[in-house]
Amino acid sequence: MHTMTTNPSEFIQLHHASDQQLRAELSAGLLSASAFASPKYFYDALGSKLFAAICELPEYYLSRTEASIVDAHLGEIAAAVGVGGTLIDLGAGNCAKAAHLFPALQPAQYVPVDISVDFLRDAVGDLQQRFPHIKMTGLGLDFSSELQLPDSVQQDRRTFFYPGSSIGNFTPAEAAAFFRKLHTACGDDGGLLIGVDLVKATEILNAAYNDALGVTASFNLNLLLHLNRLLVANFNIAEWRHVSFFSTAQSRIEMYLEARHAVTVQWQGGERRFQQGERIHTENSYKYTPDNFMQLLQQAGFKVTRTWSDDDNWFMVCHARVT
């Protein structure tokens, strides 16, 4: 009788920033002349659910446009990436986007990476049942600050998968530095499969970040609830409003939380008075032209092999190799 063997999945948590480091970083951002908080603080348990809801909104075209591009060109994507390599999924979350590629790419090893390995356990457990022949190694790692992969990640034909235009949440200078790190981590025969949102009419961009249901506003405001827990702070979300707009000059959506009236906020080890209309900058989401984006990849040493877009040229999926 033939028995199907399931590859036991492996989970590795690389070092976390300490709570003290997180608090110091957040406190410095809130006290800076133009207050800011990193967008990574959007993604507590509720924030991750709100982001999943954003991806379902009629105005937020990014996720469904990317999915339709991938669906329409799965065969060509597999031909560009190659079959049987190592697929490293940056910001894997529920692993659904990568799982969609498995039948075409048939990776020998799948390496979902997310900030905490605990987020990955359930998703990887289910996937391992569905794809028993793929070796799965879940990695807990803040890949935006370091990209040292453990030895159990195969060197052979590494493809970094970075969908969803998350690259847009870095400044172009940060994106360039990140691409250089990825280029090194690719080895001699690796590559990158990445999704990026493109410049388009301002009204379409503004609508995507100011949806009629107010889900994006809730996603933005929820950051304050997260800060209340992390910093033992006393933000009252009723005193803040969501502000978001496309800046043509910077080619980015800028997202802020704006004080509705003068308010004093206290947290463990800090305090600040915000005047009416004063803002906390919470996110940038850069939008590229295809040429600008390919230049960024080329400057980091990548060679762009193929790009795929939708008919309206709203979104681009790009494959690039090291050689």
Binding site for ligand AVI (CB under 6 A): 54, 62, 164-166, 168-169, 209, 216, 283, 285
Least Å distance between CB 166 and ligand AVI? Answer: 5
Cβ nearer to ligand AVI, comparing 128 with 169:
169
Q: How far apart are CA 287 and CA 165, in angstroms?
A: 9
Q: How far apart are CA 15 and CA 13, in angstroms?
A: 6
Least Å distance between CB 221 and ligand AVI? Answer: 12
Least Å distance between CB 175 and ligand AVI? Answer: 12
Q: How far apart are CA 286 and CA 250, in angstroms?
A: 8
Q: Which residue's C-beta sits nearest to ligand AVI?
A: 285
Cβ nearer to ligand AVI, comparing 233 with 253:
253
What residues contact residue 42 under an 8 Å CB cut-off, 6+ apart? 51, 219, 220, 222, 223, 226, 282, 283
Per DSSP, helices labelled H in the chain are: 19-31, 45-54, 62-72, 74-81, 96-105, 118-130, 172-185, 202-208, 215-231, 290-299
Cβ nearer to ligand AVI, comparing 65 with 285:
285
Cβ nearer to ligand AVI, comparing 62 with 136:
62
Cβ proximity of 73 and 308 under 8 Å: yes
Q: How far apart are CA 186 and CA 91, in angstroms?
A: 17
Least Å distance between CB 113 and ligand AVI? Answer: 15
Cβ nearer to ligand AVI, comparing 27 with 63:
63
Least Å distance between CB 168 and ligand AVI? Answer: 5
Cβ nearer to ligand AVI, comparing 136 with 205:
205
What residues contact residue 239 under an 8 Å CB cut-off, 6+ apart? 259, 260, 261, 263
Least Å distance between CB 209 and ligand AVI? Answer: 5
